[in-house]
Structure 1
Amino acid sequence: MEEQLAGGNMAPVFRVGATVRRETGEWTPAVHRLLAALTSIDEVPAVIGLDDFDREVLTFLPGDMLAGADATVLWSERILVSSARLLRRMHDASVELAGDPSLVWRSPAHRPREVICHNDFAPYNLIVRGGVLSGVIDFDFASPGSRVWDLAYLAYRLVPFAEDAPHAESLDRSQRLAALINAYGMSFAPDDVVSVIVQRLDELESFTLARASDTGHADFLAHAAMYRRDAERLKLWNARNS
């Protein structure tokens, strides 16, 4: 029996028993190569193959979406640190794929091609069990890029800098950004990470406006407007804190 899962903004995703099924495309072999490279990481789903409808079949990761967790879990130091450390492990395991010209990805690459970026490593794609980070899903938009390209989007969503972050008014963004960078384990300057967030938001705004045009859905316009407001606010934040 198939159960349609929440999310799947680009195409529906279904659970069948202990597996997840979703559409395939020219990017699927590259994504499966990536998941194979990440097999030593327990928080990542494993590839089983394709079903009779040519959908990919992955293992189902039990748990709840971090995005829907109580604020005491969502904004906990434990989740902040473990998310950055998981991203670092994924990046380190993907290095050999980053320069492979034979791989076709769904998303454009970004230079420098250091690692394979998840490109949507955020609370709505992270899974928790018992208040502990236990999984990451939705690798379809992965592509080569820099480490900070991925880390910046995690910072946007988990420090957080996003306007729509719930119950985050009292958080110390400067302290959380520093903790996130420290947990990842590389010496990125906080203002450089924020500058990359702005670049990402510029790209997201363009992508989301195109989606609004293609689908006619007004909610995409609202999201694009939020990305623009957040980008302008972060430019000011960087000017104040540089």
Structure 2
Amino acid sequence: MAREPEVLSGGLANAGAVLRHGDAVERPAPPHVAVLHAHLRALREQGFDGAPVPLDVSATGRRERLSCVPGEVAVAPHPPWTWTDEVLHSVGALLRRMHDTAADVPFDRAADWPFDLADPEGAAAHGTVVCHNDACLENVVFRGGRAAALIDFDLAAPGRPVWDVAMAARYWVPMRGRAGLDPPHRLRVLADGYGMGRADRAGLPHVIEKATAVCRAFVERRVERGDAAYTAAYEESGRAVWDRHQNWLVDHRRALTAALLAG
């Protein structure tokens, strides 16, 4: 008898629609599935094993199958190990490894990449690699206590590597604050794990501010369209919370920069 597929949690957009069939995951396909699958295959051919392998796309083009990436994901309620410096450092190292590989993978700038969460400079000459753009806690797979792979590349698009680090920082530092954590210190740990150069370190806090504004616009567009999942999340956080968060980033820009450049 065939085993029933396992329903995986998925994100807000794909809740209940991601199924595991043994060693494969079936999920909704993004509109640009062809160019995305080509990119993921190219990453694998260049030696990057930290992403799912595309298997096929349904005849309708609405569903895709990818290899199931083994490991552990820090889903809510997040376990204590989620917030260790070692885990954070490894997230930075994984992003760097992906970016270094992606730098050797040509991409079609004219393709219909999604720019919902992408670097605003990604369409220009500054968009040097295809970034993940959504390396949140639920999209990083761990093995042996270290970040080993990224999943859910639906929002991947050309951009500057520093943009991808800024987006990751929003979730992993996190830039919205968490009791008992030191954001300037943790931002430095992430940058150290990435091996970030001094120029990008100096500009990172400002890029995080831009990334936060892009994320806010992303949520508000979906609320305006009546998306129930995003509307519920927005009502829980509220406009005032976003305002406080953006003001906090501006107020702490100097402290964040000092921590990044110390030593």
1:44 aligns with 2:51: yes
Distance 1:57 1:87, change over 3 A: same
| Partner of residue 169 from structure 1, selected from 162, 165, 179 | 179
Partner SS, residue 193 of structure 2: helix
Q: What's 1:8 paired with?
A: 11
- Is 2:109–2:158's contact at 8 Å kept on the other side of the alignment? no
Show the 5 A alignment for 1:102-121. Answer: 102-107=110-115, 110-111=120-121, 112-121=126-135
Distance 1:74 1:146, change over 3 A: same
Distance 1:20 1:223, change over 3 A: farther
In structure 1, distance between residues paired with 2:79 and 2:112: 38
- Is 2:18–2:27's contact at 8 Å kept on the other side of the alignment? yes
Which is worse superposed, 57-66 or 2-11?
Answer: 2-11
- Is 2:57–2:64's contact at 8 Å kept on the other side of the alignment? yes
In structure 2, distance between residues paired with 1:219 and 1:91: 31
Shift of 1:241: 5.2
The aligned amino acid for 1:119 is: N
Task: Please list the CA deviations of residues 130-158 of structure 1 after superposition, one character each: whole Å capped at 9, or x if unmatched.
Answer: 43323211001000011111001112211
Shift of 1:85: 1.0
Shift of 1:170: 2.5
Q: What's the RMSD between the two structures over aligned residues?
A: 2.3
Task: Please list the CA deviations of residues 8-43 of structure 1 after superposition, one character each: whole Å capped at 9, or x if unmatched.
Answer: 322322212211112224311121122112212222
Show the 5 A alignment for 1:76-155. Answer: 76-97=84-105, 100-107=108-115, 110-111=120-121, 112-155=126-169
In structure 2, distance between residues paired with 1:98 and 1:157: 29
Shift of 1:46: 0.6
In structure 2, distance between residues paired with 1:228 and 1:156: 15
Distance 1:191 1:229, change over 3 A: farther
Partner SS, residue 37 of structure 2: helix
1:33 aligns with 2:38: yes
Partner SS, residue 42 of structure 1: coil
- Is 2:29–2:64's contact at 8 Å kept on the other side of the alignment? yes
Partner SS, residue 38 of structure 1: helix
Which is worse superposed, 36-45 or 93-102?
Answer: 93-102
- Is 1:64–1:129's contact at 8 Å kept on the other side of the alignment? yes
In structure 2, distance between residues paired with 1:81 and 1:162: 19
- Is 1:205–1:228's contact at 8 Å kept on the other side of the alignment? no
1:181 aligns with 2:195: no
- Is 1:201–1:228's contact at 8 Å kept on the other side of the alignment? no
- Is 2:91–2:146's contact at 8 Å kept on the other side of the alignment? no
In structure 1, distance between residues paired with 2:215 and 2:234: 11
